[in-house]
Structure 1
Amino acid sequence: MTTMYDVIVIGGGPAGINAAIAAGRQQMKTLIIERYGFLGGMSTAALVYPWMTFHNSQGDQVIKGIAQEIVERLMEHGGSPGHLRDTIGFVYSVTPYHPEIYKVLAFEMLREANVDVLLHSYVDEVETDGDRIQSVSVTGKSGRRKLTAKVFIDSSGDADVAYLAGAPTVKGRESDNRTQPLTMKFRMRSVDTEKIKAYIKAHPEHFYEKTLVDRLDELPLTAVQGFYPQWEAANLPINRDQVLFFIGPEKDEVLVNMSRVQGYDGTKTEDLTLGEYEGRKQVLMIAEFLQKHIPGFEQASISNVGTQIGIRETRRIIGQYTLTKDDVVHARKFDDVIAKSGYPIDIHDPTKKGLQVAFVSGDGTFDIPYRCLVPQKISNLLAAGRCISTTHEAFATTRLTPSAMATGQAAGTAAALAIREGISPGEVNINVLQDQLRKDNVVL
């Protein structure tokens, strides 16, 4: 491994993986840096499952490109059934996947694109000269090393590189900087999903109002939201109002998304430490509740808990444009669109029990403009994934994995075009970038 690159991607989650693949396929000498010993980010380290959603509410697939290629290759390896209907009815589709197969596939696709991969490594210092990043310093078992690149892509999820470089960032909601809660996700095996399905059909009033109850005989059960009476009666000290779990990847397995750890800052080590403890305590409480009170869980047991607690929200860049709630709910279109999404605004309240939801109107699809990837003050940096430029409300849709994959591909492609033209990423011709993305099967 050398120390000089065309493109360095910091963060090996879905956004970073797709950014590095895109840059590598454009013949850029590319490095991706990841702090864990595996790739996948929150999808693998925090068990964020399934991927939601590649479609808009009308069933049109609006996210393709490298993201769709990953799904298809997972299917070839038995690692995903592809896109399935969301039986909760909250979104059109969910995409189950096997995290261990995804970890290996991501590594293989990066190698195919001639991308260098550096795991067990953490960027802890950024050196700048004027408005440019000169180098990043990486700490790992081998000690510290300094790495240079022409363009850097921050896909850390927390805008770590932008923050260290001095680019303007914002954290959480604008009024008080509070962030959406942390969640410790976990899996249980030996779950009788047929028993769950039978209960839903017998008691539809106990579940989310859009649940596809009338289609459960023809569709595989993918997701469950409700069991409201059982949850209310249990009165557990967890500040949420419903049971929520997703089926898979095995037939007798569910991913439980129910813990709610509020009041902690995901950019502070002390808060993360306390959050990990509280999250794991909640896992044990929730598992016992499910075993005792939810039909189908009588013989179930915990099979896997996240390597780390899931982080929904921390820092975001302040970019050349900030995507807003109005942009999302009014299905706004932009001349510099580089990705689309159909996922609604879905805010887990920082202090209260419920969710704040706002659906996309019109054709059910909103645009993400390229300017949201371009930070202020630092000219050779792009953002991708969770840390692009949005308001707190708009962030509650762009944070989802398929959107992160799409902005990652756009960032990697833009970085390559900028290097080839000898310009900064902010000066990239948007028409040329869009043409390349369309060639790569991105929906614009």
Structure 2
Amino acid sequence: MSHRIEADVVVAGGGPAGLCAALAAARMGRSTVLVERYGFIGGMTSAALVYPWMTFHTLEGKQVIAGLAQEIVDRLQERGASPGHMRDTVGFTKTLTPFRLEVFQVLALDMLEEAGVKVLLHSFIDRVSAENGRISALGLTTKSGPVEVAGKVFVDATGDADVAHLAGVPCLKGRDSDGKAQPMTLKFRMRGVDLGKVKAYMLEHPEEFYKRTPVEELPGLPLTGICGFYRHWKEAGLPINRDQVLFFAGPEADEVLVNTTRVQGLDGTLAEDLSRAEAEGRRQALMVADFMRRSLPGFEQASISQMGAQIGVRESRRIQGDYVLGTEDVVSGRRFEDAIARSGYPVDIHDPTGQGVKSEWVKGDGAYDIPYRSLIAQDADNLLAAGRCISTSHEALGTTRLTPSCMATGQAAGVAAALAAECGVSPRDISVAELQRFLRLQDAILD
């Protein structure tokens, strides 16, 4: 016999998008349940060590994401767990935001408790009760047996569109040509790194690093990210299909987070593929760490201090929404009447089959709008998406998948779900003007 829980709004997935969706819905006065499969909040941020957060700003430095996302950063700063927004010394974006993961996980739970959200951890969604396009409940497998969570409105923030898929809602996956998705990456931390030595080498050999590295500014900047060591990587000849080393500094003074492994050709929604990816990613992590220790200046005394609890998944399923955000929308900096968030992160696609990373920067004022219609699932009356699984093309996902953008769409989905639950209507039928008004009241940036 299933244990039954009821709420106005049910949020599936406790990553940054789900966290913001649950907070937003509860703060609007709706009873809210957040379901998360791990024993902690944070999604890919926590499980796959997605660090630092990029980016809250345009390339010119204008902040375009605030609201709950900025509140989280502010409260991390109050706890001494983040320096706030800093210059990105890779040069790919203007800023990035370092933070202490373990403090973030506790802060997230504190904020959920303050808002009155009921949190169900260690709860795996494996079935969805739906009829005629309307979801009535999520079925969970838990340590204490089956649990049913019923609700009026549901937010799919699972990253993999699990709720949409289980409900039979149309989903997209990978690129149009062959369905292949961006590669997965097993991230890991290293301690014992001499970042002063790394920086000195960068200043002496700027040609070995990413072309947008702000070399002229570098002497007066703390290192936050490093992309390059092209010669070292090429000479090593490791069997990893990429062309450079990428790592980010911190949060400790002798610590880096390495984002260099690359597992291609596997599907993050298939158990057997994920199993193969985990094994391959961890083998690659040991291989990369050994190479860095032997070959890179500043890493002579470094060692692995942590691997991700799971491999990082950049792309899997996403909903087929009322609007599919496309590349031209992003690159042209398109504005939408139903905008519920903005982003200044460029298109950033790790090649599903090749070595490189395809990048395109946003024109105009450096930011684009994310329309509310991209959060509304087709053929579903009471389902919204947030985070990585909103409705986009393969290319546009290369920007909307980044954590600050996920937080912004999560906040919007939470407010929309609360309005729909309060009025007893489909999320498709709420007043977008009212949604935008409430988002602005919550310090979201829409202009």
Q: TM-score, normalised by structure 1?
A: 0.99
Question: Secondary structure in 2 aligned to 1:304?
Answer: strand
For residue 31 of structure 2, what is the aligned residue in structure 1? 29
Q: State which of 420, 423, 428 in structure 1 corresponds to 2:422.
A: 420
Q: State which of 226, 245, 248 in structure 2 corresponds to 1:246.
A: 248
One-letter code aligned to 2:236: A
One-letter code aligned to 1:226: G
Q: State which of 172, 176, 179 in structure 1 corresponds to 2:178.
A: 176
CA distance in 2, matches of 1:48, 1:145: 30
One-letter code aligned to 2:370: I
Q: Deviations over 1:380-413 (max 9, x none)?
A: 0000000000000001100000000000000000
Q: State which of 60, 79, 85 in structure 1 corresponds to 2:62.
A: 60
For residue 282 of structure 1, what is the aligned residue in structure 2? 284
For residue 69 of structure 1, what is the aligned residue in structure 2? 71
Q: Deviations over 1:61-117 (max 9, x none)?
A: 000000000000001111111000101111010000111001100000001110000
Q: State which of 317, 325, 339 in structure 1 corresponds to 2:341.
A: 339
CA distance in 2, matches of 1:36, 1:422: 32
For residue 8 of structure 1, what is the aligned residue in structure 2? 10
One-letter code aligned to 1:428: I
Q: State which of 318, 321, 332 in structure 2 corresponds to 1:319.
A: 321
Q: Greater shift after overlay, 106-115 or 214-223?
A: 214-223
For residue 226 of structure 1, what is the aligned residue in structure 2? 228
Q: How far 1:420 moved relative to its partner?
A: 1.5
For residue 147 of structure 1, what is the aligned residue in structure 2? 149
Asked if 1 retains the 8 angstrom alpha-carbon contact of 2:188 and 2:257, the reply is yes
Q: How far 1:213 moved relative to its partner?
A: 1.2
Q: How far 1:134 moved relative to its partner?
A: 1.0
Question: Secondary structure in 2 aligned to 1:28?
Answer: coil
For residue 265 of structure 1, what is the aligned residue in structure 2? 267
One-letter code aligned to 1:14: P
CA distance in 1, matches of 2:264, 2:204: 34
Question: Secondary structure in 1 aligned to 2:201?
Answer: helix
Gapped runs of 5+ residues in structure 2?
none
Alignment of 1:353 with 2:355, yes or no, is: yes
Q: How far 1:28 moved relative to its partner?
A: 0.6
For residue 403 of structure 2, what is the aligned residue in structure 1? 401
Q: State which of 117, 125, 128 in structure 2 corresponds to 1:126.
A: 128
CA distance in 1, matches of 2:172, 2:275: 22
One-letter code aligned to 1:70: I
Q: How far 1:242 moved relative to its partner?
A: 0.2
For residue 364 of structure 1, what is the aligned residue in structure 2? 366
Q: State which of 111, 114, 117 in structure 2 corresponds to 1:112.
A: 114
Asked if 1 retains the 8 angstrom alpha-carbon contact of 2:333 and 2:366, the reply is yes
Question: Secondary structure in 2 aligned to 1:191?
Answer: coil
One-letter code aligned to 2:146: R
For residue 374 of structure 1, what is the aligned residue in structure 2? 376
RMSD: 0.8
For residue 20 of structure 2, what is the aligned residue in structure 1? 18
One-letter code aligned to 1:8: V
Q: TM-score, normalised by structure 2?
A: 0.99
For residue 300 of structure 2, what is the aligned residue in structure 1? 298
Question: Secondary structure in 2 aligned to 1:18?
Answer: helix
Q: How far 1:376 moved relative to its partner?
A: 0.5
Asked if 1 retains the 8 angstrom alpha-carbon contact of 2:4 and 2:150, the reply is no
Q: How far 1:339 moved relative to its partner?
A: 0.3
CA distance in 1, matches of 2:406, 2:373: 15
Q: How far 1:2 moved relative to its partner?
A: 6.1
CA distance in 1, matches of 2:430, 2:5: 26
Question: Secondary structure in 2 aligned to 1:213?
Answer: coil
One-letter code aligned to 1:380: N
One-letter code aligned to 1:23: A
Question: Secondary structure in 2 aligned to 1:244?
Answer: strand
For residue 101 of structure 1, what is the aligned residue in structure 2? 103
One-letter code aligned to 1:340: R
One-letter code aligned to 1:365: A
Q: How far 1:217 moved relative to its partner?
A: 2.0
Question: Secondary structure in 2 aligned to 1:3?
Answer: strand
One-letter code aligned to 1:139: T
Question: Secondary structure in 1 aligned to 2:395?
Answer: helix
CA distance in 2, matches of 1:283, 1:88: 21
Between the aligned residues of both structures, percent identity stands at 59
CA distance in 2, matches of 1:155, 1:252: 34
Asked if 1 retains the 8 angstrom alpha-carbon contact of 2:225 and 2:249, the reply is yes
Q: How far 1:421 moved relative to its partner?
A: 1.5
Aligned residue pair count: 444
For residue 392 of structure 2, what is the aligned residue in structure 1? 390
CA distance in 1, matches of 2:352, 2:46: 24
Asked if 1 retains the 8 angstrom alpha-carbon contact of 2:4 and 2:147, the reply is no
CA distance in 2, matches of 1:257, 1:147: 37
CA distance in 2, matches of 1:95, 1:428: 34
CA distance in 1, matches of 2:320, 2:304: 41
CA distance in 2, matches of 1:395, 1:92: 20
Q: Deviations over 1:34-53 (max 9, x none)?
A: 00000100001000110000
Question: Secondary structure in 1 aligned to 2:128?
Answer: strand
Q: Deviations over 1:323-374 (max 9, x none)?
A: 0000000000000000000000010000100011111011100000000000
Alignment of 1:309 with 2:311, yes or no, is: yes
Describe how 1:200-211 pairs up with structure 2 within 5 A.
Answer: 200-211=202-213
CA distance in 2, matches of 1:300, 1:215: 27
For residue 219 of structure 2, what is the aligned residue in structure 1? 217
